[in-house]
Amino acid sequence: MIQNVLKHVAVIMDGNGRWAKDRRHPRVWGHVRGSGIVSEIVEAADDLGVKALTMYAFSTENWSRPLTEVKILFALLKKFLLKERPRIIRNKIQFKIIGDLSGLNIETQNIIKNLEEETKLFTGLKLTFAFGYGSRQEILNAVNSFVENNPGKKIDETDLASSLYNPESGDVDLLIRTGGDFRISNFLLWQCAYSELYFTKTQWPDFSVTEFSKILNEVSQRERRFGAICETAGLNVTTTKAQENLKSIQESRDVH
């Protein structure tokens, strides 16, 4: 395997319900099976040198699903947190949940709050769950928060990026979606502006560490140009160069 150069990986865990339906089981059965895959992928990401892993667990649009299914998802989140807490602590993983958690019961909210507080200074993998999350809402909240705290100041890209839910994780290098659909479903729209995209037909309950590792290996070999004509170290490099070239052209135009 070549060295992994992908610092921030995001995953849309899709296909749980269809996986269960294909086996003539209730949709929630797929979510139960899928929840067990999460732990394996988190551990693999840590082992493979990923610095930040953001997983889409529940979107703002998912509130439209049957109430029974929603309640099962909430229960699975609580179960995961209680089960995985020792491993998160042991591996120095920095844990965070982004999104609107107001629909969760107080007990689960407290479990989340306590785990975030316990791990906030950890320097290992930055593990983030997006729950009750929508990227458009995140961007709106970021803009409104900045305007409220900086009246009269014009917002720029740096200001907006730093006002998002979890700026510490940075831009997404790779977005993986399981389940066979080809869309990003209102997930990390700002952060995924220059991310590599990988869509697999594998439904989440069948997703494996082997496939995850294979995807990272394949995408790590892609040439990432960020708008330039050759491979570039990162978006900041091409942005700086673009600004320099624009300034040079403007100065040349003004002289003539």
Residue 52: closest CA among 206, 174, 179 = 174
Tokens of 232: 């570039």
Catalytic residue among 62, 91, 186, 217: 62
Residue 39: closest CA among 26, 51, 53 = 53
User: For residues 10 and 213, what is the distance between their CA atoms, to the nearest angstrom?
Assistant: 14
The question of whether 62 is a catalytic residue gets the answer: yes
Residue 100: closest CA among 67, 74, 65 = 74
Residue 39: closest CA among 74, 86, 3 = 86
State how far Cα 215 lies from the chain centre: 16
The question of whether 14 is a catalytic residue gets the answer: yes
Tokens of 61: 């649009």
Catalytic residue among 14, 46, 171, 173: 14
Q: Are 37 and 204 in contact (CB under 8 A)?
A: yes
Catalytic sites, residue numbers: 14, 62
